[in-house]
Amino acid sequence: MPVERGYLQDRFVQSVIVGAILLALIWVGNIYTFQQYQLTEPLFLPHNYELNYNDTDILDLYYLVSANDKAEVIFLSFPALDSTLSIYPSVRYQQRGDYYLIKQVQVQLNEELISSLDASEVLLEEANVTFDNGIEGTFNIGQIRLHAEPVPSHFAWQSWGGGGNNTGNHNFVANETVEVVGLDSAGDYDLPDIRLNGESISQDLFPFTVTTGRRLNVEYALESPHDFQDFNFARGLTLLTRTEDGEKGQTHFRIDYFQLQVNEMKKLLRNRGEL
C-alpha cells in the first residue's frame, strides 16, 4: 500500500521538532549543571610544607576558580607577617574538567622582612587577598612554616621534573660528604612512593652516604587520596642529614599534586561547604 507524500512530510517535521526540543533540553541542562558548579569566590588549596629562607625567597600558592573566571590576585599579605609583599601575576596553571581552573600566585619575600622577625619560625595559615574583580577576604592556605634561622642544608638543589601521571623528581648535589639519616614529612600523612637514588624508602635504606659533588635523586609517585579532606595540595618533605663531624642538617623540598580530577575537586568543595 503506497504511503502518501503528505504523511511522510508530517513525520519528518515531527521528528525535526522532537529533535530540536531534545537538543534544547540538553543545552538547558548543561547550562544548569555548569552553573551549579560555579564558585562564588576563589578557593585556596591546602598547602603543608616548610622552607628555609635561604632555600628560596618565593612562596608558591595555588587556588581554584571557575573555568571562566578571569580574576587575578592584585594584593596579598599574611597576618603573621606585618609587611606588604610583592607578588607575581597569577597564571593559568592546570585545568581539570569543564568546571574549574587551578591558578598560581607567587609571593616575593625579602631579606629585610625576614631579618625583622622576632621568632625563628613563622607559621603562615591565612592570607589577606584582594582580586581585581573586587573580591577580598582572608583565606585559609593550610600551613606553611618559614624558618628565619634555619639549620644548615648540606645539599644544593639542582633541578626538578614531573610527568602527567603524578610522578616527579628532584635532583640535589652534596656540598660535602654527608650521611642521609632520614626523610621527614610536614604534616600527618603517609609518605608517597619515594625512591632515593633508585632505592625505595620502604626498604632498610637509612643511613647512607653521599660524597661531595655527587647527586642525590629523589623520585616520587602520587595517587589520588582516599580522604581528600585531609589532603594537602602542596606537601613538604625534609631530608635529614649529618656531616662527618656530626653537624646536623635539613634540606626542605616540596611535592605538588596537580592531577586534580573533577570528582576530587567536587569532594574538596563539598568539604568546604561550596557544593
Q: How far apart are alpha carbons 189 and 251 in whole angstroms?
A: 19
Q: What is the mean pLDDT of residues 18-39?
A: 61
- The predicted pLDDT at position 104 comes to 83
Domain of 99, in residue numbers = 39-149
- The predicted pLDDT at position 138 comes to 94
Are 48 and 17 in the same domain? no
Whose cell is 595517587? That residue is 223
Are 82 and 139 in the same domain? yes
Quote the cell numbers at residue 154: 648540606
Q: Are 233 and 198 in contact (CB under 8 A)?
A: no
Q: What is the mean pLDDT of residues 14-26?
A: 67
List CB contacts of 44: < 8 A, sequence separation 6 or more.
61, 62, 63, 64, 127, 129, 139, 140, 141
pLDDT surpassing 70 at residue 114: no
Total of domains in the chain: 3
**Domain-ending residue, one of 149, 169, 191:** 149
Neighbours of 91 (CB within 10 A): 11
Q: What is the mean pLDDT of residues 167-186?
A: 87
CA 13 to chain centre: 53
Are 112 and 204 in the same domain? no
- The predicted pLDDT at position 40 comes to 77
Question: Which amino acid, 31?
Answer: I
∠ CA 131-137-140, rounded to 5°: 105
Coil/strand/helix, residue 224: coil
Q: Are 51 and 252 in contact (CB under 8 A)?
A: yes
Whose cell is 573566571? That residue is 69
**Using one digit for the tens of pLDDT, what is the confidence trace for 234-254?**
677 888 999 999 999 888 887
- The predicted pLDDT at position 228 comes to 41
Neighbours of 45 (CB within 10 A): 23
Are 161 and 140 in the same domain? no
Are 127 and 212 in the same domain? no
pLDDT surpassing 60 at residue 67: yes
**Domain-ending residue, one of 129, 149, 169:** 149
- The predicted pLDDT at position 227 comes to 40
Are 47 and 88 in the same domain? yes
Are 59 and 155 in the same domain? no
**Domain-ending residue, one of 149, 171, 193:** 149
Q: How far apart are alpha carbons 89 and 203 in whole angstroms?
A: 43
Are 156 and 263 in the same domain? yes
Are 104 and 200 in the same domain? no
- Position 116 confidence tier, pLDDT thresholds 50, 70, 90: low
**Using one digit for the tens of pLDDT, what is the confidence trace for 117-135?**
666 678 889 999 999 888 9
Are 81 and 198 in the same domain? no
**Using one digit for the tens of pLDDT, what is the confidence trace for 97-113?**
567 778 888 888 776 66
More confident residue, 70 or 9: 70
Are 31 and 43 in the same domain? no
pLDDT surpassing 50 at residue 62: yes
**φ, ψ for residue 42 (rounded to 5)?**
-60, 155
Coil/strand/helix, residue 198: coil
Eight-state DSSP code of residue 119: S
Q: What are the b/e assignments for 202-218, b being 16+ CB within 10 Å? A: eeebeeeebeeeeebeb
Are 77 and 28 in the same domain? no
Percent of the chain at pLDDT > 90 equals 14
**φ, ψ for residue 133 (rounded to 5)?**
-95, 10
Q: How far apart are alpha carbons 91 and 87 in whole angstroms?
A: 12
